[in-house]
Each structure stands twice: as C-alpha cells, then as structure tokens.
Amino acid sequence: MNRIYLFVISLLLFLGCRQGNESMKRAKADANVDMRFEEVYAAWKLKEKEFMHYGKTTPIKRHSEYKNFLSLGSECVPKLREKVFARDGFDFVLCDVIIELKGWRHDEFDLGDYGKRARQVLKKLEDQSGKQGE
C-alpha cells in the first residue's frame, strides 16, 4: 500500500514540476518577445525623422525597421496596439503591421486618413478580443 502512495506522490510531483517548467519556458519566451519588441521599436523611433519626408507609407514599409516588426509575429500585436493607441509620432503606420500580422485586407480600412485607419484597426482588435472572451 505504501508503494502505491509513494508512486502516486512521485507521479504528481513529476507532473507538477513538468507543468512548472512549461510555464517557466512560456514566461521566458514572452519576456524575449517583449525585449525584442522594445529593441525593434527603439530602432523604429530613431527613423521617424526620415519617415517625415515620405508622402505615403509604401516607402516606409520597405525599411528593415518595418519588416522587423513583421518578423516578431502576431505575439507583438498587443504591444503594437498600445503604441498605436498612444498616437505617438509615426506609430499610425504600425496599423499596417497589425493588418498584415492579422491577415486582414488593407482595403477594409480607410486608405487616406491615417487617424481614421488607426481608429478602425483599434476597433477591430477590440471587437475580436471581445469575441474571444465570450
């Protein structure tokens, strides 16, 4: 009987430790994404003066700073949302990054008014997060 208890306790400890390791790995991965995002965002902010000379967003999308956001994947969408919501400088262009990462069509959003496009993207993100919580 004692062997059964010992086996059950050992099994529970093993499973608990394994689950803890997976949680730790997930937390570490999240921290890496956050750190990488902040690096990419800092590089983006350094390029803003250059972006001011462009009349359209198309040349900005060719920059490595823009592409670096795409390389982070959809895990960075919440951080991008925060930056767009703050409406700081050229962060409205990051709406296009969100659109690409989410797989949305660009023509769903206003193409001429960047402020309106930002509001539309933020609204769609909010609507989708509300549906996921249901």
pLDDT in tens, 58-106: 788 888 888 999 999 999 999 999 999 888 766 778 899 999 999 999 9
Other CB atoms closer than 10 Å to residue 41's CB: what's the count?
A: 20
Q: What's the pLDDT at 71?
A: 94
Sign of CA dihedral 115, 89, 55, 107: negative
Average pLDDT, the chain: 81
pLDDT in tens, 28-44: 656 788 899 999 999 98
Q: Check residue 10 and give left, alpha or beta (phi > 0: left; psi -120 to 50: alpha).
A: alpha
Domain locations along the chain: 34-133
